[in-house]
Homo-oligomer: A and B are copies of this chain.
Amino acid sequence: MLTKQTAIQNIRAFNRFYTDVIGLLNKHLLDSDYSLAEVRVMYEISVGKEVQASQIMAAMSIDKSYLSRILKKLEKDGIITKSLSPQDARALSISLTAKGKKLFDTLNKASDHQIGQLIETLSSAQQQELVSHMHSIISILNK
Residues on A lying within 8 angstroms of B by beta carbon are 1-2, 4-12, 14-15, 17-19, 21-23, 25, 61, 111-112, 115-116, 118-119, 121-122, 124, 126-131, 133-138, 140-141, 143
Report how many copies the assembly holds.
Answer: 2
Nearest CB of B to A60, in Å? 9
Report Cα–Cα, A18/B17, bound state, in Å: 12
Whether B143 lies near A8 (C-beta < 8 A) is no
Complex partner residue of A118 from B115, B130, B135, B141, CB under 8 angstroms = B141
* B contact residues around A2 at 8 Å (CB): 128, 131
Report Cα–Cα, A15/B117, bound state, in Å: 15
Report Cα–Cα, A25/B122, bound state, in Å: 30
* B contact residues around A5 at 8 Å (CB): 112
Report Cα–Cα, A131/B1, bound state, in Å: 12
Nearest CB of B to A4, in Å? 6
Q: Label chain A's interface by main secondary structure.
A: helix
Report Cα–Cα, A24/B117, bound state, in Å: 28
Q: Which 3 pairs, one residue from A and one from B, show the smallest C-beta to C-beta distance? A: A14-B134, A133-B133, A10-B131
What are 14 pairs between A and B in contact, CB < 8 Å? A4-B127, A7-B130, A11-B115, A11-B130, A11-B134, A12-B112, A12-B115, A14-B131, A14-B135, A14-B138, A15-B25, A18-B18, A18-B137, A126-B143
- With A14-B134, A134-B10 known to touch, is A140 a contact of B126 (CB < 8 Å)? yes
